[in-house]
Amino acid sequence: MNKHVITVATIAAVAIGFLISLQFQAQREVDSAEKIQQQRVEQTDTVMKTLQDENNSLQEEYNRISAELERYRNQNSENPYLRARLDQLKIADGTIAVTGPGVKMIVKDSGPDTDAVIPLSTDELREIVNVLRLAGAEAISINGQRIVASTSIVISGTATILVNSVPISRIGGTTYEILAIGKQDDLLDYLTNMIAIDLKQFGRKVEITRETVTIPSFKGSYTFEYASEVKKG
């Protein structure tokens, strides 16, 4: 009888010790997960602040370029310097096609080779554009649409994504082709570490390759109803 009691007590003690050990382990894992989550939130806040500053800077640069471009157009000069400067401004303004070293990113949000549960969103597309700009991209396009300062990326209805007011998605899933020109190492690093990881977590298939890419010109128009150039003097 005594041996039986001792055996039961021993088993109970071992079980309690095991449960306590599991509790400590679970608490450590929770603490670790909370720490990782906090670090991720802090990193995201830092990135978002940087992207916001970059967007503000890009808007200021766009306003300056637009004013300078219009001034050169109005001069209608054959001056070689002005012509070269005009070409540079057209590249920055997105009004001419460009080619150069860069990256091609393919994102599939449906199909037999993906485990995607939700389609790519406009917020995710805007984040891709912002990260590419942060990486120093000189030109960007999404499914043939040139990204410029005035580009809008919005959803129409329940499933159609519009870029520059042009539909680029379709019901049933879309393959997105994002092209960017710039320093290939930087573009690849930023996309891989800041975009691809998150996209893959939702089952999307992502491929990023170094390529010489050609990016089309912006097919829309710039219309300023209220803004005008500030006259000097």
Distances (CA, A) of 200 to 3, 28, 50, 142, 144: 58, 27, 24, 19, 23
**Separation between Cα atoms, residue 135 and residue 208, nearest integer Å:** 15
Helix (H, G, I), strand (E, B) or coil at 210: strand
**Separation between Cα atoms, residue 89 and residue 39, nearest integer Å:** 41
The string of pLDDT tens digits covering residues 122-164 is 999 999 999 999 999 999 999 999 999 889 899 887 778 999 9
Cβ count within 10 A of residue 136: 13
The string of pLDDT tens digits covering residues 210-228 is 999 999 999 876 665 666 6
State which fold the 98-215 domain adopts.
Alpha-Beta Plaits (3.30.70)
Angle at 70 between CA 84 and CA 148, to 5 degrees: 85
Domain ranges of the chain: 98-215
Check residues 103 and 76 and name the one with the higher pLDDT.
103
